[in-house]
């Protein structure tokens, strides 16, 4: 449990019981039954294309029933049956028609905007859609060296992939990952960074000059103005508020969500909180010629083809949420490199 996670009794169970559908409408309805999540909407997804999946796999019998829910634990049990002889275990199990499943994950990112003056005043709900299906045969047919240990068995466990017609479903369900109070997360990140800056201000260094003389200097002496900016996490929202999108009333969470990192250095016990913006733009972009164009030319409106400048600006407005996207490219490329690449591509594309 941490300071910024919101725990709602019954939410995890309700999400798990919800039947998945193509547009996740039932999931959104389920969340709306909780007063704190009323008005929650799906903003973006990641994965669902085989790029995110669980390492743990189920062991499936030839008749389609599940033998075990963790293939590594099962292989360890089978190795013990054979007295630790991995070669015998491989020969015995490879003849019994076992298969392994793979659980592909689609990450759903939803937001509940509280509508306060602070652009960070929203809840972010992260849910995984887990799709577990038969994926491959147990064990590769060929290997470099015969297996001798459990690790060897695990390494060759994933065999030849089955055909699409044989990828029978085992289970499909939602799994709640977390509900984050973003305002609390940003405030905590700001507090922790203030503590880290205070430690730096208190540091004293002994500097040895070229002539061998020594003098004492503070961190501020060596790095003047190191704390002239606000914390990185807070500046993200300050920049949005200062942009034409923020000034026009557009909300941050309508266009961006966040990946959260909460890490403590095991040696110094210093805790670090940070965020990476998640782009919610999901429209199809124009086809581009990747061999032409200039990354820096995208900041110049003249770099857009005459016949497509208005269309390109329209697309960029959809991306950034602002009315002056070209003027704000430099600001947002600091937070999302993909925007820089996208705009560069648009600069050398003809948008219909």
In the chain (352 residues long), the average pLDDT of successive 10-residue segments reads 93 97 96 96 94 96 95 97 96 95 97 92 98 96 87 95 94 97 96 92 90 90 86 92 91 95 94 94 68 58 49 56 52 45 42 34
Helix (H) or strand (E) holding 267: none
Pick from 145, 114, 110: nearest CA to 127? 110
Residue owning tokens 């009315």: 323
Q: So what's the pLDDT on residue 283?
A: 73
In a domain, 259, yes or no: no
Choosing from 182, 214, 232, the residue where a domain stops is 182
Q: Are 138 and 59 in contact (CB under 8 A)?
A: yes
Choosing from 165, 182, 199, the residue where a domain stops is 182
Euclidean distance between CA atoms 348 and 305, whole angstroms: 7
Euclidean distance between CA atoms 12 and 10, whole angstroms: 6
In a domain, 257, yes or no: no
Strand ranges (E), 36-121: 41-47, 59-60, 66-68, 99-113
Same domain, 37 and 161: yes
In a domain, 272, yes or no: no
Q: So what's the pLDDT on residue 142?
A: 79
User: Could you tell me the CA-to-CA distances from 55 to 75, 82, 154, 194, 254 in Å, in that order?
Assistant: 15, 25, 11, 38, 33
Same domain, 300 and 158: no
Euclidean distance between CA atoms 206 and 208, whole angstroms: 7
Contacts of residue 1, defined as CB under 8 A and 6 or more positions apart, other chains included, come to 7
Q: So what's the pLDDT on residue 345?
A: 42
In a domain, 239, yes or no: no
In a domain, 271, yes or no: no
| SS3 state at 219 | helix
Where in the sequence is the domain holding 15, given as residue range(s)?
11-182
Q: So what's the pLDDT on residue 316?
A: 56
Six token digits for residue 267? 């040696």
Number of domains forming the structure of the chain:
2
- Cα maximum dimension of the chain: 82
Same domain, 173 and 300: no
Q: So what's the pLDDT on residue 116?
A: 84
Same domain, 177 and 37: yes
Q: So what's the pLDDT on residue 169?
A: 95
In a domain, 148, yes or no: yes
Q: So what's the pLDDT on residue 112?
A: 97
pTM: 0.78
Q: So what's the pLDDT on residue 334?
A: 45
Euclidean distance between CA atoms 130 and 104, whole angstroms: 6
User: What angle (nearest 5°) sits at the alpha carbon of residue 189, between those of residues 188 and 192?
Assistant: 85
Choosing from 138, 163, 182, the residue where a domain stops is 182
3-state helix/strand/coil string of 122-175? EEEEEEEEEEEEEEEEECCCCCCCCCCCHHHHHHCCEEEECCHHHCCEEEEEEE
Q: So what's the pLDDT on residue 41?
A: 96
Bridge partners of residue 208, in order along the sequence: 214
Cα 350–chain centre separation: 31
Q: So what's the pLDDT on residue 330?
A: 47
């Amino acid at each position: 449990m941490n300071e910024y996670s919101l725990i709602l009794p019954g939410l995890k169970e309700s999400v798990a019981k919800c039947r998945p559908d193509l547009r996740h409408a039932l999931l959104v309805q389920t969340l709306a039954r909780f007063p704190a999540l009323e008005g929650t909407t799906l903003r973006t997804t990641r994965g669902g294309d085989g790029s995110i999946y669980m390492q743990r796999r189920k062991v499936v019998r030839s008749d389609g029933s599940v033998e075990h829910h963790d293939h590594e634990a099962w292989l360890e049990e089978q190795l013990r049956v054979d007295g630790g002889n991995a070669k015998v275990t491989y020969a015995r199990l490879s003849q019994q028609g076992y298969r392994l499943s793979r659980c592909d994950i689609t990450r759903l990112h939803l937001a509940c905007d509280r509508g306060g003056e602070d652009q960070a005043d929203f809840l972010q709900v992260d849910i995984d859609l887990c799709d577990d299906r038969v994926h491959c045969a147990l064990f590769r047919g060929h290997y470099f060296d015969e297996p001798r240990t459990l690790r060897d068995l695990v390494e060759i466990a994933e065999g030849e992939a089955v055909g699409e017609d044989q990828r029978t479903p085992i289970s499909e369900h939602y799994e709640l990952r977390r509900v984050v109070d973003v305002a609390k997360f940003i405030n905590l990140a700001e507090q922790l960074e203030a503590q880290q800056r205070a430690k730096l201000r208190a540091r004293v260094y002994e500097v040895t000059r070229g002539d061998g003389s020594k003098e004492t200097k503070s961190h501020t002496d060596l790095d003047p103005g190191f704390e002239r900016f606000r914390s990185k996490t807070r500046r993200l929202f300050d920049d949005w508020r200062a942009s034409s999108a923020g000034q026009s009333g557009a909300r941050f969470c309508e266009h961006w969500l966040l990946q959260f990192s909460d890490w403590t250095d095991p040696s110094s016990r210093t805790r670090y909180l940070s965020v990476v913006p998640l782009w919610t733009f999901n429209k199809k972009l124009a086809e581009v010629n990747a061999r032409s164009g200039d990354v820096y030319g995208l900041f110049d409106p003249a770099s857009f083809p005459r016949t497509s400048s208005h269309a390109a600006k329209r697309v960029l407005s959809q991306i950034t949420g602002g009315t002056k996207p070209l003027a704000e490219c430099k600001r947002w490329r600091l937070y999302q490199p993909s925007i820089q690449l996208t705009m560069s591509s648009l600069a050398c594309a003809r948008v219909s």
